[in-house]
Amino acid sequence: MDKLRIDKWLWAARFYKTRSLATEEVNKGRVQIGGQDVKPAREVKPGDLLTLRQGPVLRTIEVVGISQARGPAPVAQALYTETADSLQARTAAAEQRRLAPEPAHSLDHGRPTKRQRRDLDQAGHGWGDRWSASVDD
């Protein structure tokens, strides 16, 4: 066996949890062989260069082996090697995310609860003592 469908290979190499997820990602154009979009039935063989996007991460890997069965992680990692450029870009992206986190992740809560609004009003930070939006002199 020297060829295998790309969706089966991605599943066996543990890039995606299920084969249907792998098929879906291939159909969305997030997996490419040699820079070209492929279909899930496209066969992959050792030596092929794959580019796949997993969230914000873009990985470039070379197929080393073929396996139809999904095995343990160390066996799955032996099926491919990641290029040096891809590893460097991935570590740089991780460092960038660490240094400049997403601003929305710093928000702890959404709207204040009724109790929190009452506390704000009692502290004088609300609109409680003003009857309109105009500035009082």
pLDDT in tens, 17-70: 999 999 999 999 999 998 899 999 999 999 999 999 988 889 999 999 998 899
**Domain containing residue 57:** 4-102
Pinpoint the alpha helices (H) of the chain: 6-12, 19-27, 73-77, 84-99, 114-122
Reported as a pLDDT band with limits 50, 70 and 90, residue 82 is: very high
Would you say the pTM of this structure is higher than 0.75?
A: no
- Comparing 13 with 101, the larger pLDDT belongs to 13
The CATH number covering residue 25 comes to 3.10.290.10
Q: What is d(CA 61, CA 44) in angstroms, rounded to the nearest whole number? A: 12
Contacts 24+ apart (CB under 8 A), 130-133: none
Domain assignment present for 132? no
Number of domains composing the chain: 1
